[in-house]
Amino acid sequence: MNFDLEKFKVHGEPLIYGAMISIALVSIGIVVGLTVFRKWGWLWREWLTTVDHKRIGVMYILAALLMLFRGGIDALMMRLQTAAPDMKFLDAQHYNEVFTTHGLIMILFMAMPFIIGLMNVVVPLQIGARDVAFPRLNAVSFWLFFFGAMLLNISFVIGGSPDAGWSAYFPLASLEFSPTVGNNYYSLALQISGIGTLMTGVNFIVTILKMRAPGMKLMRMPMFTWSVLITNVIIVFAFPVLTVALALMMFDRLFGSQFFTMANGGMDMLWANLFWVWGHPEVYIVILPAFGIYSEIIATFSKKNLYGYTSMVASMLIISLLSFIVWAHHFYTMGQGVLVNGFFSITTMAIAVPTGVKIFNWLFTLRKGRISFTTPMLYSLAFIPIFTIGGVTGVMLAMASADYMYHNTMFLVAHFHYVLIPGAVFAVIAGFHYWFPKVFGFRLNERIGKHAFWWIIISFNVAFFPLFILGLKGMTRRMYTYSAETGFGPLNMISFAGALGLAIGFVILVYNIYWSTRYMPRDENGDPWDARTLEWATHSPIPEYNFAVVPKVKSRDPFWAMKHDKQPLFEEPITKIHMPSNTGKPFVLGVVFFFLGFFLVFSMWIPAIVAGVGVLIVLAAMSFERDHGFYIPADKVIKTEKKLGGGTV
């Protein structure tokens, strides 16, 4: 093998050397820390090999928080570079890599895993189950996501990051115009984590359809569980498109095929179509669960049941169907003509109708309630007015003719941040604050939480509202610099100030986790918010078997009915509980996949083949392993329940 060390190197920027050093220092710190405190065994037994949906959920959320900061630093660098005309902070290539990874990381490695993390923690509890349908598959999903994310992240310091935008339009992303390995990373990192996401989709559909507690009919499910079910159906239909598109991209870049290139009949528009056939449903994959989270929180803190349950479910179903027939609105300007553009305009605007239904149902859930302004509720309430701006500008963009003026401008950038930040980020933060005490047994501090909230909400508007106006002034997205005559300077400076404020808000938010871990009093009864759904019916922190006795559901909001209408939930005696046993194979599979991806990125064929065989061996080992799990004996369950005290049995 002839190694060319040059292609691994990224040159020039002091920022990149800084990143290399910090990655190295953090890695050394983690290794030294684990060794000094003798935590390697603990890490392996309790986390790396776990199949417990709660722990997997926590790992998803931790990874998502890390990625939030990585993507946030990208955002700060972009806003700084464009804060004033002719800035010299980043050069064009570096800027292009930064906005590409910002998009990829925030959507695929922050928003999605955060939501999947919350799904993991909450859904089995909400339906009264002991785990997901396929606990080991769940671990495989997580480790594939995690190592996919790591693969994309090392691109920054080894070989160079993707630089053709998160949508990687061809022929720009082809070898001809993007000769670095950056877009190889794109095709492989997304592929590896995408396979994990697809498995999550299958896993949660089966879990929700087959593992609900007795009596929990579909129309008695909590709204978050409904949203997760619909989301996972979208995942199962949308992600195979991405899988195929990424595979074709990899063939184009590594093996000389010509699916999307300029030569030999390659079709650049085919990539754009495939990408957005996945990409638009992807937006709803992150937003529908958010709707579910808000539904839970708004009902809980209004002390009311959710208004218009049936129309809430119906509207999500309609949104999920429409999400598959709107993709061409991402390229009205491709010259499809009036008929096609008209069709996609109408389907796109139609989404406003079910979305409006949800907004009004939330407003009427508040009506006649008794609203308490806790931190999770504040985020949920801030969501309504801000997201509505995102929604109405979405309708404006949906009008094909007007879009000829908005397309690729900052107006579009403002719009989708006004949709995705309240629609996904506020939701996961709200859900994080809301379910945190369930997982860890204590609440996050309200005072610090509200400080973070106001920083985030106000700074968000300062950062993104000016972009609407910049768009109307004709500023296009993805420009690494502009001249002073354009007059774009002042508004960009305001936006940069907002970005700084957002950063401060997120730092306060994380500080709150640290502070609360040290000082917050521990919850006694597992139900700190006086909530309504089943997850609050068990102890906090949750025992590994979730419920000592499987609950019997007789209505919506069964836990509320138990507390206020004296409806009994747990009637059976405690018996032995069947649990899945831990396994290290999903982690090993993730590691092997990581190396397979890495070697393919650099076209190192022999190591890649070895790693590929390794993948097959691990898969075979998983398939042929006989493991029927284990039983927790009844007396041990009773002992645990007594120790946890209070509670429900």
Partner 1 sequence: MNKKGPLYAIFFSLFLLLPGCSSLTVLNPQGPAAKTLSDTIILSILVMLGVLAVVYILYTIMLVKYRAKKSNEGYIPPHEEGNIWLEATWIAIPIIIVAFLSVVTVKTTHAVENVPADYKDQKPLVIYASSSNWKWHFSYPEEGIETVNYVNFPVNRPVEFRLYSFGPISSFWIPQLAGQKYAMSDMTTYLNLVANTQGDFLGRNTNFSGKGYAQMEFTATSMSSDDYDKWVKDVKSTASQLTEDKFKSLLATAHVGRETFSSTHLTFSPPPAEHSEHMDMDHSNMDHSNMEMSTDEHTHQSN
Q: Which residue has the tokens 């990625």?
A: 67
Nearer Cβ to partner 1, position 410 or 502?
Answer: 410
Burial class (CB in 10 A: 0-12, 13-18, 19+), 416: middle
CB of 450 to partner 1, least distance (A): 11
CA atoms within 13 A on the CB side of 99: 20
- Residues of this chain, 562-621, that bind partner 1 according to CB under 8 A: none
Residue numbers 72-101 binding partner 1 by CB under 8 A: 92-93, 96
Maximum CA extent, the chain: 78
DSSP 568-602: ----SPP--EEEPPP-SHHHHHHHHHHHHHHHHHT
In the complex, the smallest distance separating the C-beta of residue 430 from partner 1, rounded to whole angstroms, is 14
Using alpha carbons only, what angle is made at residue 561 by residues 555 and 566, rounded to the nearest 5 degrees? 125
CA distances from 416 to 56, 62, 94 (A): 30, 25, 23
Crossing angle, helix 92-104 and helix 53-81, to 10 degrees?
A: 150
**127 Cβ partners below 8 Å, 6+ apart?**
207, 208, 211, 212, 213, 216, 221, 225, 534
Cα 581 to Cα 337: distance, rounded to the nearest angstrom: 58
Distance CA(365)–CA(305), nearest Å, equals 7
CB of 376 to partner 1, least distance (A): 14
- The reply to whether 237 sits near partner 1 by the rule CB under 8 A is no
* Of 300, 341, 516, 540, the one binding partner 1 by CB under 8 A: 341
- Residues 87, 340, 497, 634: which binds partner 1 (CB under 8 A)? 340
Are the C-beta atoms of 324 and 398 separated by less than 8 Å? no
Residues 464 to 493 in contact with partner 1, rule: CB under 8 A: 465, 468-469, 471-474, 476-482, 487
String marking each residue 271-290 x if it binds partner 1 according to CB under 8 A? -x------------------
**Dihedral angle over CA of 634, 639, 643, 646, nearest 10:** 50
**Least CB distance to partner 1 at residue 520 (A):** 22
Shortest approach of partner 1 to residue 582 CB, angstroms? 44
Determine the residue type at 637: V
**In the range 385-414, which residues lie near partner 1 by CB under 8 A?**
385, 388-389, 392-393, 395-396, 398-405, 407-409
Scanning 193-201, 355-363, 496-504, 587-595 for contacts with partner 1 by CB under 8 A, the matching segment is: 355-363
Rounded CA-CA distance 532/359 in Å is: 21
Which one, 434 or 560, has the nearer CB to partner 1?
560
Residue closer to partner 1, measured from CB, 396 or 579: 396
| Binding residue (CB under 8 A) for partner 1 from 80, 175, 233, 350 | 350
Q: Which stretch binds partner 1 (CB under 8 A): 204-212, 221-229, 339-347, 441-449?
A: 339-347
Considering only residues 101, 345, 459, 533, which one is a binding residue for partner 1 as defined by CB under 8 A? 345
H or E segment to which residue 630 belongs: strand 630-632
CB nearer to partner 1: pick between 172 and 638: 172
Cα gap 112→67, rounded to integer Å = 11
CB of 345 to partner 1, least distance (A): 5
Of 163-192, which residues contact partner 1 (CB under 8 A)?
Answer: 163-165, 169, 171-172, 177-178
The size of the interface with partner 1 (CB under 8 A), counted in residues, is 97
Whole-angstrom Cα distance, residue 590 to residue 37?
Answer: 26
Binding test (CB under 8 A) with partner 1, winner from 175, 233, 352, 497: 352
Q: Is the dihedral of CA 409, 411, 413, 419 positive or negative?
A: negative
Task: In angstroms, give the least distance from the CB of 94 to partner 1.
Answer: 10
Q: Closest approach of Cβ 374 to partner 1, in Å?
A: 10
Binder of partner 1 out of 14, 41, 256, 335 (CB under 8 A): 335
Q: Which of 85, 215, 369, 541 touches partner 1 (CB under 8 A)?
A: 369
Pick from 27, 372, 517, 603: which binds partner 1 (CB under 8 A)? Answer: 372
Please select the residue that binds partner 1; options are 4, 265, 519, 521, rule is CB under 8 A.
265
Q: Which residues, numbered 289-308, are part of the site for partner 1 (CB under 8 A)?
A: 302-305, 307-308
- Residue 263's SS3 state is coil
Closest approach of partner 1 to the CB of residue 191, in Å = 23
Between 15 and 638, CB nearer to partner 1: 15
Instruction: State the virtual CA torsion across 262, 264, 270, 271 in degrees, nearest 10.
Output: -50
Distance of closest approach, residue 385 Cβ to partner 1, in angstroms: 6
Q: Specify the residue, 443 or 539, whose C-beta has the smaller distance to partner 1.
A: 443
Which helix (DSSP H) or strand (DSSP E) does residue 632 occupy? Answer: strand 630-632
Q: Quote the least distance from Cβ 156 to partner 1, whole Å.
A: 18
Between CA 231 and CA 237, with CA 235 as vertex, the angle to 5 degrees is 120
User: Which residue in 429, 419, 424, 489 sits closest to 456, CA to CA?
Assistant: 429
Which residue lies nearer to partner 1 by CB, 9 or 368?
Answer: 368
Give the integer Cα–Cα distance in Å for 434 and 445. 12
- Taking the complex as a whole, how short is the minimal distance between the CB of residue 262 and partner 1, in angstroms? 5
Residues 445-464 binding partner 1 (CB under 8 A) are 461
